[in-house]
Structure 1
Amino acid sequence: MLRALDIRDMLIIDRLELGFQPGLNVLTGETGAGKSILLDSLGFVLGWRGRAELVRAGAEQGEVVAEFDLPEGHPAHAILEEAGLPGGEELVLRRVNRSDGRKTAWVNDRRCSGEVLRQLSETLIELHGQHDDRGLLNPRGHRDLLDIYADTGAARAAVRQTWAAASKARKAVAEAQAALQAVREEEDFLRHAVGELDSLDPQSGEEAELDARRRMMQGAEKVRENVSRAHAALGGDGAERAMGDALRWLEDALDDTGKLLEAPLAALERAMNELGDAVAGIEGSLDALEFNPHELEMVEERLFAIRAMARKHGVAADALGEFAADLRARLAALDAGAGNIASLKETSAAADAAYDAAAKTLSAQRAAAAGDLDRAVMAELAPLKMERAVFATHLTPTEAGPDGIDQVEFMVATNPGAPAGPLGKIASGGELSRFLLALKVCLTQDVGGLTMIFDEIDRGVGGATADAVGRRLASLAAEGQVLVVTHSPQVAALGTHHWRVQKHVADGQTLSEVVPLAPDDRIDEIARMLSGDSITNEARAAARALMG
């Protein structure tokens, strides 16, 4: 229940504190006095999207605080817990709008997002505005209203989930078929290219290795000539022989020189050993540089074949192996394509069957609830002076979609014997308001702890009909809390609490204020609503009669 509303510096309100009570709370006043500003301010603190500019001219910021009583078990507790916000028996919402457009919100003195406010608002307030009946004219909204009444949340979620799965499966089939068709168009190329590549079997790094071998063999003759010369210079007829002669000569002189030649002899022996290693290595190189001219030809053919294949397919030589693997995969997909598509079609058929089952379950739930809704609305229409009206919820098949296979439209007949037709084409403005009130009562009768706000729901009706509307609102308020913005004296007279919204000018500024009315003040206000600016004794007497 909404307990209090504190508004500061919002539009033409400088400071306003309102305390609300259970029962029927009535707000009246001249047109333009600021009644809609109260609702705009309440919507602001609840996170609703509304006017962009709300801060009063000249003020740095506007602020709205709303206080609610939260009984145990109220659905708002679950939202607070999920958001990590403090709970309790009292809920205080506070939201600030700065002049630069920035908005900040608190729940029980803890910062929160506007989205959390909106989630809380759905459990706290049910607002029925001046133009809510416009929604009744659009059959696309009728299905949602029926679903609310039928509580189809779980069934509708199942339909949405299976629809998404079926759509995904159908898309997979279409993509696989398109891919298969694209591959089939290049089947000849793939088979030829894969055959060539498999025959060539290029290896990573092979092109560089072949190029190096080719260069080596091309220069091997000249290299071998130089190596042979080095071998001759160092071998048995060259340095090796000269060093051997020198070694014998020194050894012959060793006995006559004592230790004088020991060091040179040792060095020479080491040099002879190193020279032997060098000669052996050169001889090995000469053997390696021996090649078959036919081998050079084979290396060149292989190298040129790899490079030609790389140019043909526009890839690097080292990437030919990876390219071949990709072509093989595409060819394998072609060969396996029919089987894959068959499997995907089976999956898609199963997903479609699951959707059909979920949609039929939802449709059956809607059909069962439609009759209950019709009877409930008809029962509500009688006390609203529409006891002869007929209300019927029509379900017709429509194209399958994420919300099922049903089209829902409310049909009415307002006069006995008249054919039923779409609500928007048959009902007048006043009748639409009463149909809306009846629907809203039916849709919210099982929702506990909800404050219902009706903004001029009684427009377009008067006399006994307005009295009937007021009495239904009073009956509804007896079980909770209802706030009504009204221009109807019959409705205002039935209120348990009454405020008058009025404007005044202070220091050159137009400001709005809300005045709680004592019993005598209520009589004058209802008399004004009956007779206009000139309040007569007759109008006061009529007001007393209305108030009972």
Structure 2
Amino acid sequence: MLASLSIRDLVIIEALELNFASGLGVLTGETGAGKSILLDALGLVLGARADSGLVRAGSEKARVTAGFEIALDKGPLADLLADNDIEVEPGEPLIIRRQVKADGGSRAHINDQPVSAALLREVAAHLVEIHGQHDDRGLINPAGHRQLLDSFAKADTASVAAAYADWRAAAAALKQARAEMAEAERDRDFLQHSLEELRQFAPEAGEEEALALERATMQKGEKLSESLSEITAMLEGSDSPLAALRSLTRKLDRIAPDHEMLAEALSALDRALIEAVEGEEKLAAAQDALLFDPERLDDIETRLFALRALARKHDVAGDDLPALMQKMEAQWAALESGSGNLAVLESECAKAREAYVTAAKALHQARIDAGESLDSAVANELKPLKLDAARFQTAISELPEERWGPNGISAVEFLISTNPGSDFAPLMKIASGGELSRFILALKVALAEQGGAATMIFDEIDRGVGGAVASAIGERLSRLSRQTQLLVVTHSPQVAAKGDHHLLISKSSDGTVARTNVQALDAATRQEEIARMLSGAEVTQEARAQADRLLERV
């Protein structure tokens, strides 16, 4: 609910600090005292257009701060704030600030975080409803009528939303499968030719690198083959250095025992012989590895060039050809079995659609039944509000399939007819603001248990009526205030007497500057204000007595 409102330098308000309580709060005062300015101030923190003309003459800026006490642990408002990273500590109020500069421009904050006017309006829709001269949303907006009716009917909308999600998922899967099937059909010849080509080539993982390495090695062998042959020839035969070294060690071996130095020499030569033999073996291995085979090189190059040509053709790396072949195998298999898969998906989509239609039609009928009950409930409220010639109708129609959605297949709009024989029309078509406010009051009373914004404001709902009708309005406002906080700007003493709290708005002037003031009335001052409303400028004893009678009925 709205807990506080602080206003600085707004039109003729220099500074005001207002506190509000639950129940029915009434705001009264003489015409021109500034009641509309209070609503303008509240409108600013609710996201209304910031007009620099609202800034008090001589001031640089106007500031309005509103505090709301509301449970924010769950629900749409909590989700909206969380989605926009606005933190609210448990038990702490939601503080909205709006500032308007005299030279144009404005700033808005929610709990000290800068926000846009658009977000401010979204948040405000969960906090306050204003009905009357300032009404531009709420019950007159058809966009919310379906949800209000569903709440009144206690309808199961979740199962319809789930069935719709299942249907759309099945339809999306079918659409994708059909698109893939159509694409595969278009590319059937290319796919068949390419797959056959890859099958015949049979690429292997890592093959390009292996072929390239073997080709490079063999090309090196071709360059080194003559030198290797000469080196090998030098190491072979009876007159080679290695043969001479072997002969030398054999001769030294026979005389080495005769002297220690000879033994050491033999040991050194043995080591040299071992290294030489190892070198000979490595040369032989290198010669084998670098063996140049023209036919093998030709085969390697043919395979390597064909592999790279295939890779370029399909715009993939050579080592990705095996994966490409597997993918094409899968595409071909899907193409071959595509009609069977499509039949399965078509069946699943048809079943999902049927489940949705069944649930949506049941919800549609529940709405029709609830609409009749709501029509009757509203009709019972119209006559006491001097709207006995008016008729209310919950118009429910079935949407075309292209407009079906998670909310079902129903279009819902509240319609009225204000004169006998006239056609039903949307609520916003009513010309009289007071008549519209009373109609909304009747609808709100009928929907009272379904909730709504935490705070409701009715601006001069009693305009143009008095006596029994004003009493009926006051009684219904009082009844409605048991469900939500209610603030009423009124000129009717019968309505004012029903209030749980009473604020008097007055205007004073020092001859040059006018100021608006707000006073919370106690029992005595409240009696005097209601007496003033009854008698006019001069308060009589008879008016005071009548005011007492009105207050006693509360």
**Is TM more than 0.5 here?**
yes
2:462 is paired with a residue of what secondary structure? coil
Q: Give the counterpart letter for 1:384 in structure 2.
A: L
How many residue pairs get aligned? The number is 519
CA offsets 1:9-46 (integer angstroms, 9 cap, x no match): 262434434466777543234555432343455567xx
Question: Contact (CA 8 Å) 1:166, 1:351: kept in 2 or not?
Answer: yes
Contact 2:128 2:454 in 1 (8 A): yes
Aligned to 1:187: 188
Shift in Å, 1:520: 3.4
Q: Which residue of 2 aligns with 1:101?
A: 107
Q: Distance in 2 between matches of 1:243 and 1:540?
A: 147
SS class of match (2:300)? helix
Q: Does 1:433 align with 2:437?
A: yes
- The answer (yes or no) to whether the contact 1:411–1:420 under 8 Å persists in 2 is no
Q: Which moved more, 1:311-320 or 1:421-430?
A: 421-430
Is the counterpart of residue 520 in structure 1 residue 528 in structure 2? Answer: yes
Q: What residue number does 1:230 align with? A: 231
Contact 1:527 1:540 in 2 (8 A): no
Is the contact made by 1:503 and 1:511 (CA closer than 8 Å) also made in structure 2?
Answer: yes
Q: Is the CA contact 2:9–2:55 (under 8 Å) kept in the aligned structure 1?
A: yes
Mapping 1:87-486, distance limit 5 Å: 87=91, 94-97=95-98, 101=107, 103-105=109-111, 127-132=130-135, 139-152=142-155, 155-218=156-219, 220=221, 223-235=224-236, 236-247=238-249, 250=252, 258-287=259-288, 292-399=293-400, 400-416=404-420, 418=421, 420-424=423-427, 428-429=431-432, 430-445=434-449, 447=451, 452-459=456-463, 461-463=464-466, 467-477=468-478, 480=482, 482-486=486-490
* Uncovered stretches (5+) of structure 1, i.e. residues with no partner: 529-534
1:514 Cα shift?
1.5
Cα shift at 1:186 = 0.6
Q: Tell me the alpha carbon deviations over residues 289-327 of structure 1, each in whole angstroms, 9 at most, x when there is no partner.
A: 556543333223222321222233333322322332332
In the alignment, the residues of structure 2 paired with residue 86 and residue 157 of structure 1 have an alpha-carbon distance, to the nearest angstrom, of 29
The answer to whether the 8 Å contact 1:139/1:408 transfers is yes
Q: 1:445 Cα shift?
A: 4.8
Report how far residue 468 of structure 1 moved. Answer: 0.5
C-alpha distance after superposition, 1:328-387 (max 9, x if no partner): 233233233323322322332232223223212321221221121111111101111233
Instruction: Check 1:184–1:447 CA distance in 2 against 1; reply closer, same or farther (3 A cut).
Output: closer
Partner of residue 8, structure 2: 9
Q: Normalization by structure 2: what TM-score?
A: 0.77
User: Retained in 2: the 8 A contact 1:224–1:286?
Assistant: yes
SS in 1 for 2:409: strand
SS of structure 1 residue aligned to 2:239: coil
Structure 1 window deviating more from structure 2 (485-494 vs 321-330): it is 485-494
SS in 2 for 1:314: coil
* Residue 207 of structure 1: how far off its partner (Å): 2.5
Cα distance, 1:188 vs structure 2: 0.7
Whether the 8 Å contact between 2:218 and 2:291 is mirrored in structure 1 is no
SS in 2 for 1:101: strand
TM-score, normalised relative to structure 1: 0.78
Q: Please tell me whether the aligned partners of residues 9 and 55 of structure 1 are also in contact (alpha carbons under 8 angstroms).
A: no
Q: Could you tell me how far apart the structure 2 residues matched to 1:30 and 1:141 are?
A: 35
Identity of aligned residues (%): 39
Distance 1:452 1:298, change over 3 A: closer
> How big is the alpha-carbon RMSD for the aligned residues of Structure 1 and Structure 2?
4.4
5+ long unaligned stretches in structure 2: 80-86, 101-105
> Residue type of the partner of 2:239?
D
Distance 1:426 1:215 in 2: 88
Q: Matched residue of 2:6: which SS?
A: strand
SS in 2 for 1:404: coil
Segment drifting more, 488-497 vs 304-313: 488-497
1:51-102 per-residue CA deviation (whole Å, 9 max, x = no partner) reads: 547887748884646587x9xxxx7787799998445xxx866555567735
Contact 1:474–1:495 (8 Å) recurs in 2:
no
Secondary structure of the 1:387 match is: coil
Amino acid at match of 2:48: G
Partner of 1:359, secondary structure, is: helix
Between the aligned partners of 2:241 and 2:279, the Cα distance in structure 1 is 11
The Cα shift of 1:496 comes to: 6.8
**Cα distance, 1:180–1:33 mapped onto 2, change above 3 Å:** farther
